[in-house]
């Protein structure tokens, strides 16, 4: 239902949408019932000449039931909603499936910088790819993201994933996602961060495996390519001897 | 002229006294909130103990004694007021005020010494809480002293003697906050 | 109380309303200790601030609908100005409109009258509390006009943005805003003492606890709730001011502080605060629906218990504002449980109100329209809150317009609809004249219909991912879509229509004050004690203070000729 308004592009976005749909059915039913009763009573007991109002204390058992039974039902439905909500929450925020790839997401006033681990698949090595305001990821792979801030609070929001978490300076948050659709989507900063908060968006580009490989190859920094064929792990000075055998 | 409303007492307790208790409710949450933050931070920051070592425990202890004594004179003031002796009650309130003044003087010596030694409110999280909590408390001491002087000014004419008890209750609370501050800021090292 | 009757006997002839020379203008209108005048001071100040807050909404909604275009009456809106507008709109509506009008305005005016007293117990403290409130207004307005402009870090003022002028770029604005809020808190702490103590101690002889009208209960419980929840934030405000001004690091993560601590301190107050304003609104609705349905409140005691339960539970839900803020995710589950469950006492209250209509004889006068409108609209606010309390869904909805729409569906009924019910209901008592009924109804419909047109689209936009506090959505490819921009324009135009209809209210109010048809003591044939005083009541309220013989809602009692039975009428 929500995917009519915003695409659903992560493995867990469907779960969030289903929770929202369940909530809509339950609260919708209650809302309609309450409003219907409300308007019906207004209509039925509108002032009529010669008809006096009734003296009702609220202690009358058959009338009290009209409060107590709905009260009990609301409690039951609340429990259903709580269980459903916690399940989705645990899936997204309390589990961390093993990562196929880890990216660093750094927020600051007023831009996003992303750090992809590059061809070697390890962060903080010379072949890492740093981009500003554009995050490339590969569809179908489980990602961990390391969310940080350089200054104030920001928030990493990907509506198409139904995923959001605040970036707190002084902390690193590790979250996860797994994209299920290719395409271009919005990343927004969802915590007011100063005058530039309104321009702090970024692009999320979800690539097919081939396109993603090509992107990595094209964007590997020159320095990492310098003394190797581009796939060697070590950045040490005696890499020449290490790779000699590989040539 | 007082409204009739002020003289009624549907709860069986005098209006002014009831009011002071409600004031204390809000004060408990203010100091409680601040001290809870301090305690949580103190537990999380083991290194604060090094800073806390530099508070002057003797000055703190002396001040504790002063405040407790001033609470005693406040109680005696109440007793005098109950007996209708407004002049005696006023004098005992002045004595209580004096206790507050001594407290503040000791504190200003303490703080001057600490600031000169480089322990300013900015120098560490511990000192930030130390000065803020003790400062907020000192602000309440000053406010209490001012109210006490005003109450004494009418009490010595044997008027509004019930206020002596009420200001005493407030003063006991200020004392009680210090009873919490002293171990938290001075003894926990 | 054994000595009640004696106390009453003592009171006759001891009142101070014997011989008074008519006070001068200053003493009567600006320096008064009379609870009715102080009530007016709060009400009129609150209404003026509502105009300011509404103007801010007009400006930023125009910017959203027609980005970059100069807004008539303001000019081009810069990003910094946009942030200051939304920050101060929210702050003003909560702290300088809802609270003064609902609690201090209605509370001051009505509590002594409803409990049969001649004034509040501490009239001079009452005057002082208004003066502190007025000071907070001055400080707030100053914060808007200083160098670099007003504070733009949202009404929640999260550090490090709010603590460090290098980040927020509004050094003066930030500190003055915070100071204004702190002074406003002190004003309401002082005022609350009067409401609580007066109600506890100064009730009319014979008025037991469960004979007290629901509105008085709600204002007292709201005051207690405020008092018990604002303390940590007062401490926090001092800490934030120190961070801003003298270089402490309570909230600075680079020097051992924690930005999330502020959030806890803020929301520990912030959540009970919404109930602080909700309860008096529900109190007003209770008074109006019993009178216009000619019905006893269905299960009065249940209402009181649910009010207290809501108040207590409200202390245990605060972190639902922080689900994705970096709190321990296990804690989020605890708060989901408490938040979803708090819907129960509130639902119960609404069910009881709806049940009160059963068997009634309902007249749809203007106050009743507003009271019924409150119930209809607040239900929407309530059910949409469930989406946000359910943590799994809140991951998506947090900080989007879905939240904005939810809280406007609760706050607007609280701050505007219930207030209108109260104003139109008690106007005859306050000014001795009727408001115009026809224009009252026109104003009602002209407010309610546009209100829904503004905020229903915002639910949809929020669900589609439109995040908050953004001055131009064209900076985000998917949010700049034409259908979304069309919705924004529709919402803005609806706001313009709604604002235009408020002119009708203003004219009706002012003209009726001076030239409305004269009203008797009890134009609505109601039971509560304020309707036995003159319209308007004199200083001291009655020549002889009333005694109470029964509860407040004895309407349509079988066997009686009249369908109402004032509380002060001997059996």
Domain residue limits at B144: 14-187
With a cut of 90, say whether residue C19 has pLDDT above it: no
Lowest mean pLDDT among B42-51, B136-145, C8-17, C300-309: C8-17
Beta strands of B109-186 (E only): which ranges? none
Residues present in chain A in total: 247
Q: Which residues of C touch A37 (CB under 8 A)?
A: 354
* C-alpha span between A203 and C354 (Å, rounded): 49
Q: Which pair of tokens denotes residue C111?
A: 């509590």
Residues present in chain B in total: 189
Give contacts of B 89-148 with C, CB under 8 A: 121-122, 124-125, 128, 132, 136
Beta bridge partners of A144: A102, A176
* C-alpha span between C113 and C106 (Å, rounded): 11
* C-alpha span between C206 and C222 (Å, rounded): 24
pLDDT of A226 reads: 61
Which helix (H) or strand (E) segment holds residue C181: the answer is helix C171-201
Dihedral Cα C423, C426, C430, C435, nearest 10 deg:
70
Question: What's chain B's average pLDDT?
Answer: 95
Q: Which pair of tokens denotes residue C101?
A: 């009008």
Which chain A residue is nearest to residue C82, measuring alpha carbons?
Answer: A195
Residue C289's nearest CA partner among B25, A38, B89 is A38
Q: Which of A53, A79, A94 is the last residue of a domain?
A: A94
Contact C235 B25 (CB under 8 A): no
Give one DSSP letter per residue of A23-81, joined into a string. Answer: HHHHHHHHHHHHHHHHHHHHHHTB--TTPPPP---S--HHHHHHHHHHHHHHHHHHHHH
Which whole number is the average pLDDT over C19-39?
84
With a cut of 50, say whether residue C544 has pLDDT above it: yes
For residue B9, being part of any structural domain is answered with: no
Considering only the top CATH level, what class is C37-532? mainly alpha
Coil, helix or strand at residue C445: helix
CA distance A189 to chain C (A): 8
User: Strands A134-138 and A201-207, how do they pair?
Assistant: parallel
Q: Which pair of tokens denotes residue B92?
A: 């005992």
Contact C393 A88 (CB under 8 A): yes
With a cut of 80, say whether residue A227 has pLDDT above it: no
pLDDT of A230 reads: 47
For residue B20, being part of any structural domain is answered with: yes
Give contacts of A 48-77 with C, CB under 8 A: 48, 51-59, 63-64, 66-67, 70-71, 74-75
pLDDT of C24 reads: 85
Q: How confident is the model at residue C351 (pLDDT cuts 50, 70, 90)?
A: very high
* C-alpha span between C59 and C70 (Å, rounded): 10
For residue B7, being part of any structural domain is answered with: no
C198-220 pLDDT per residue, tens: 999 999 999 999 999 999 999 99
Residues A117 and A49 in one domain: no
Residue C430's nearest CA partner among C50, C98, C41 is C41
With a cut of 80, say whether residue A2 has pLDDT above it: yes
Per-residue H/E/C for C132-151: HHHHHHHHHHHHHHCCCCCC
Coil, helix or strand at residue A185: strand
Number of other CB atoms surrounding residue B184 within 10 Å? 17
Mutate: best of C13, C35, C239, C248, partner B, most B CBs <10 A? C248
Q: What is the reported pTM?
A: 0.94
Residues A33 and A129 in one domain: no
Q: Which residues contact B83 (CB under 8 A, 6 or more apart)?
A: none
Residue C328 exposed, middle or buried by CB count within 10 Å (0-12, 13-18, 19+): exposed
Q: Which pair of tokens denotes residue B115?
A: 């600031």
Contact C333 A86 (CB under 8 A): yes
Which letter, b or e, does each residue of C396-422 get, where b requires 16 or more Cβ atoms within 10 Å of its Cβ?
Answer: bbbbbbbbbbbbbbbbbbbbbbbbbbb
Domain ranges of chain C: 37-532
- Whichever domain contains B61, its CATH number is 1.20.120.80
User: Strands A101-108 and A142-149, how do they pair?
Assistant: parallel
A33-50 pLDDT per residue, tens: 999 999 999 999 999 998
- Alpha carbon distance, N-terminus to C-terminus of chain A: 55
Give one DSSP letter per residue of C379-419, joined into a string. Answer: HHHHHHHHHHHSHHHHHHHTTBHHHHHHHHHHHHIIIIIHH
pLDDT of A67 reads: 87
Mutate: best of C321, C356, C387, C395, partner A, most A CBs <10 A? C395
Per the CB < 8 A criterion, the answer to whether C529 and C546 are in contact is: yes
Coil, helix or strand at residue C15: coil
* C-alpha span between C124 and A146 (Å, rounded): 58
Beta strands of C154-307 (E only): which ranges? none
Residues A138 and A81 in one domain: no
pLDDT of A223 reads: 76
Dihedral Cα C10, C16, C19, C24, nearest 10 deg:
-170
- Number of CB pairs < 8 Å for B and C? 139
C469-483 pLDDT per residue, tens: 999 999 999 999 999
A183-195 pLDDT per residue, tens: 999 999 999 999 9
Domain residue limits at A87: 2-94
User: Strands A163-167 and A154-158, how do they pair?
Assistant: antiparallel
Report yes or no: C249 at the B interface, CB cutoff 8 Å: yes
Q: Which residues contact C51 (CB under 8 A, 6 or more apart)?
A: none
Q: Which residues contact C67 (CB under 8 A, 6 or more apart)?
A: C471, C472, C473, C474
Residues A39 and A153 in one domain: no
* C-alpha span between C557 and A53 (Å, rounded): 9
Q: Which residues contact B141 (CB under 8 A, 6 or more apart)?
A: B100, B103, B104, B174
CA distance B42 to chain C (A): 11
For residue B92, being part of any structural domain is answered with: yes
Mutate: best of C91, C465, C483, C565, partner A, most A CBs <10 A? C465
Q: CB-side exposure of A87: number of CA atoms within 13 Å?
A: 13
Residues A90 and A172 in one domain: no
Which whole number is the average pLDDT over C445-453?
98
Per the CB < 8 A criterion, the answer to whether C69 and C142 are in contact is: no
Report yes or no: A25 at the C interface, CB cutoff 8 Å: no
Residues A90 and A196 in one domain: no
Q: Which residues contact C35 (CB under 8 A, 6 or more apart)?
A: C108, C109, C111, C112, C119, C120, C123, C126
Beta bridge partners of A201: A188
Give contacts of A 73-132 with C, CB under 8 A: 74-75, 78, 81-82, 84-94, 109
Interchain touch B–A (≥3 Cβ pairs closer than 8 Å): no
Residue C452 exposed, middle or buried by CB count within 10 Å (0-12, 13-18, 19+): middle
With a cut of 60, say whether residue A234 has pLDDT above it: no
* C-alpha span between A60 and A46 (Å, rounded): 22
**Dihedral sign, CA of C237, C168, C475, C325?**
negative
Q: How far is CA C413 from CA C102, C366, C377, C422, C447, in A?
A: 12, 15, 7, 12, 11
* C-alpha span between C238 and B111 (Å, rounded): 19
Contact A41 C324 (CB under 8 A): no
Per the CB < 8 A criterion, the answer to whether C136 and C558 are in contact is: no
Question: What's chain C's average pLDDT?
Answer: 95
C389-424 pLDDT per residue, tens: 999 999 999 999 999 999 999 999 999 999 999 999
Q: Which of A94, A113, A147 is the last residue of a domain?
A: A94
Contact C117 B11 (CB under 8 A): no
Coil, helix or strand at residue C471: coil
Q: How far is CA A13 from CA A20, A160, A180, in A?
A: 11, 7, 10
Q: How far is CA C340 from CA A66, C268, C382, in A?
A: 22, 17, 11
Q: Which residues of A touch C558 (CB under 8 A)?
A: 55
With a cut of 50, say whether residue A235 has pLDDT above it: no
Contact A195 C351 (CB under 8 A): no
pLDDT of C403 reads: 98
Q: How confident is the model at residue C21 (pLDDT cuts 50, 70, 90)?
A: low
Q: Using CB atoms, pick whichever of A16, A78, A163 lies closest to residue C341.
A: A78
Percent of chain A at pLDDT above 90?
Answer: 83
Lowest mean pLDDT among A161-170, A221-230, C164-173, C241-250: A221-230
Residue B121's nearest CA partner among C250, C238, C248, C253 is C248
Q: Using CB atoms, pick whichever of C254, C393, C469 lies closest to residue A192.
A: C469
Contact C396 A16 (CB under 8 A): yes
Residues A108 and A85 in one domain: no
The total number of structural domains in chain B stands at: 1
pLDDT of C86 reads: 98
* C-alpha span between A97 and C559 (Å, rounded): 73
Peptide bond into A110 cis (omega under 30): yes
Report yes or no: B51 at the C interface, CB cutoff 8 Å: no
Look at the block and give the residue holding tokens 């962060």. A123
Per the CB < 8 A criterion, the answer to whether C81 and C107 are in contact is: no
Report yes or no: B32 at the C interface, CB cutoff 8 Å: yes
Look at the block and give the residue holding tokens 């218990």. C305
Contact C16 B25 (CB under 8 A): no
Give contacts of C 163-182 with A, CB under 8 A: 164, 167-169
Q: Which of A72, A94, A116 is the last residue of a domain?
A: A94
Report yes or no: C539 at the B interface, CB cutoff 8 Å: no
Contact C232 B4 (CB under 8 A): no
With a cut of 90, say whether residue C97 has pLDDT above it: yes
With a cut of 70, say whether residue C1 has pLDDT above it: no
Report yes or no: C352 at the A interface, CB cutoff 8 Å: yes
Which whole number is the average pLDDT over C50-69?
98
Dihedral Cα C140, C144, C146, C151, nearest 10 deg:
90
Per the CB < 8 A criterion, the answer to whether C400 and A190 are in contact is: yes
Q: Among the residues of C294-390, which ranges form H helices?
A: 300-313, 329-341, 343-356, 366-389
Residue C440 exposed, middle or buried by CB count within 10 Å (0-12, 13-18, 19+): buried
Coil, helix or strand at residue A134: strand
* C-alpha span between C188 and C130 (Å, rounded): 9
pLDDT of C290 reads: 97
* C-alpha span between B20 and B170 (Å, rounded): 7
Q: CB-side exposure of C395: number of CA atoms within 13 Å?
A: 33
The total number of structural domains in chain A stands at: 2
Give one DSSP letter per residue of C59-92, joined into a string. Answer: HHHHHHHSTTSPBTTTBPPPHHHHHHHHHHHHHI
């Amino acid at each position: 239902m929500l995917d009519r308004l915003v695409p659903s592009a992560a493995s867990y976005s469907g779960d969030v949408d289903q929770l929202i749909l369940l909530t809509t059915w339950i609260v919708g039913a209650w809302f309609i019932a309450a409003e219907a009763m409300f308007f019906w009573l207004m209509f039925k007991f509108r002032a009529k000449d010669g008809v006096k109002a009734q003296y009702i204390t609220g202690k009358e058992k058959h009338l009290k039931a009209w409060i107590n039974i709905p009260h009990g039902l609301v409690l039951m439905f609340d429990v259903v909603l709580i269980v459903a909500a916690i399940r989705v929450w645990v899936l997204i925020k309390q589990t961390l499936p093993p990562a196929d790839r880890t990216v660093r997401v750094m927020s600051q006033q007023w831009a996003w910088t992303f750090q992809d681990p590059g061809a070697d698949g390890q962060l903080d090595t010379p072949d890492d790819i740093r981009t500003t305001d554009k995050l490339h990821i590969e569809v179908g792979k489980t990602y961990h993201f390391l969310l940080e801030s350089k200054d104030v609070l920001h928030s990493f929001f990907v509506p198409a994933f139904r995923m959001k978490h605040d970036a707190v300076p002084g902390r690193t948050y590790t979250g996860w996602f797994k994209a299920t659709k290719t395409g271009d989507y919005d990343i927004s900063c969802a915590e007011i961060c100063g005058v530039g908060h309104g321009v702090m968006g970024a692009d999320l580009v979800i690539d097919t495996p081939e396109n993603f490989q090509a992107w990595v190859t094209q964007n590997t920094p020159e320095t990492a390519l310098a003394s190797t064929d581009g796939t060697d792990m070590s950045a040490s000075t005696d890499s020449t001897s290490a790779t000699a055998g590989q040539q | 002229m007082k409204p009739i409303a002020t003289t009624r007492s549907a709860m069986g307790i005098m209006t002014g006294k009831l009011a002071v208790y409600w004031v204390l409710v809000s004060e408990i949450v203010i100091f409680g909130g601040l001290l809870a933050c301090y305690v949580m931070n103190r537990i999380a920051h083991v290194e604060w103990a090094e800073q806390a070592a530099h508070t002057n425990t003797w000055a703190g202890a002396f001040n504790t004694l002063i405040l407790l004594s001033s609470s005693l004179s406040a109680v005696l003031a109440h007793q005098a007021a109950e007996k209708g002796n407004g002049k005696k009650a006023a004098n005992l309130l002045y004595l209580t005020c004096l206790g507050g003044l001594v407290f503040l003087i000791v504190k200003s010596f303490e703080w001057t010494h600490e600031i000169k030694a480089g322990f300013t409110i900015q120098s560490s999280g511990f000192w930030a809480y130390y000065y803020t909590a003790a400062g907020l408390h000192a602000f309440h001491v000053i406010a209490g002293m001012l109210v006490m002087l005003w109450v004494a000014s009418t009490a010595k004419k044997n008027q509004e003697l019930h206020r002596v008890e009420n200001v005493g209750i407030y003063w006991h609370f200020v004392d009680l906050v210090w009873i919490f501050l002293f171990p938290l800021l001075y003894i926990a090292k | 109380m054994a000595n009640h009757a004696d106390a009453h006997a003592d009171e006759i002839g001891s009142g101070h309303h014997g011989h008074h020379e008519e006070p001068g203008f200053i003493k009567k209108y600006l320096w008064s200790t009379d609870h009715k005048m102080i009530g007016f001071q709060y009400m009129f100040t609150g209404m003026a601030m509502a105009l300011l807050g509404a103007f801010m909404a007009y400006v930023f909604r125009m910017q959203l609908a027609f980005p970059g275009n100069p807004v008539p009456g303001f000019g081009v809106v810069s990003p910094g100005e946009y942030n200051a507008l939304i920050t101060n709109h929210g702050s003003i509506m909560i702290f300088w409109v809802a609270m003064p009008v609902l609690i201090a305005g209605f509370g001051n005016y009505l509590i002594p009258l409803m409990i049969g007293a001649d004034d509040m117990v501490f009239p001079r403290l009452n005057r002082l509390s208004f003066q502190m409130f007025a000071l907070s207004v001055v400080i707030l307005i100053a914060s808007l006009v200083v160098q670099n402009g007003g504070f733009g870090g949202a009404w929640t003022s999260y550090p490090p943005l709010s603590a460090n002028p290098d980040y927020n770029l509004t050094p003066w604005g930030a500190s003055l805003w915070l100071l204004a809020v702190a002074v406003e808190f002190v004003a309401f702490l002082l005022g609350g003492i009067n409401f609580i103590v007066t109600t506890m101690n100064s009730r009319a002889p014979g008025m037991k606890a469960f004979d007290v009208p629901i509105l008085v209960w709600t204002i007292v419980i709201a005051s207690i709730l405020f008092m018990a929840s604002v303390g940590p934030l007062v401490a926090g405000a001092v800490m934030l001011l120190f961070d801003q001004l003298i270089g402490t690091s309570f909230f600075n993560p680079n020097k051992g502080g924690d930005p999330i601590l502020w959030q806890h301190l803020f929301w520990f107050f912030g959540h009970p605060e919404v109930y602080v304003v909700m309860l008096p609104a529900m109190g007003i609705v209770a008074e109006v629906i019993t009178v216009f349905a000619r019905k006893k409140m269905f299960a009065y005691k249940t209402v009181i218990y649910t009010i207290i339960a809501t108040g207590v539970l409200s202390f245990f839900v605060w972190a639902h504002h922080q689900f994705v803020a970096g709190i321990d995710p296990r804690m989020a589950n605890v708060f989901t449980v408490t938040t979803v469950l708090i819907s129960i006492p509130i639902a119960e209250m609404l069910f009881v109100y709806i049940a009160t209509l059963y068997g009634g004889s309902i007249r749809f006068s203007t106050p009743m329209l507003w009271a019924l409108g409150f119930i209809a609209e607040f239900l929407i606010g309530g059910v949409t809150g469930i989406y946000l309390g359910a943590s799994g869904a809140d991951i998506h909805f947090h900080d989007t317009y879905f939240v904005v729409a939810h809280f406007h569906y609760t706050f607007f009924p609280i701050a505007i609809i219930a207030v209108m019910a109260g104003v139109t209901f008690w106007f005859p008592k306050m000014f001795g004249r009727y408001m115009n009924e026809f224009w009252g109804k026109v104003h009602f419909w002209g407010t309610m219909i546009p209100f829904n047109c503004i905020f229903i689209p915002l639910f949809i936009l929020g669900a589609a991912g439109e995040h908050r506090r953004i001055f131009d959505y064209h900076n985000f490819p998917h949010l700049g879509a034409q259908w979304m921009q069309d919705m924004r324009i529709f919402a803005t135009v609806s706001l313009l229509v709604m604002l235009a209809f408020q002119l009708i209210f203003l004219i009706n109010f002012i003209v009726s004050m001076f030239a409305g048809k004269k009203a008797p003591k009890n134009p609505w044939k109601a039971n509560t004690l304020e309707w036995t005083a003159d319209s308007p009541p004199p200083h001291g309220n009655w020549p002889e203070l009333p005694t109470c013989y029964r509860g407040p809602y004895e309407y349509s009692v079988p066997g009686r000729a009249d369908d109402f039975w004032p509380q002060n009428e001997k059996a």
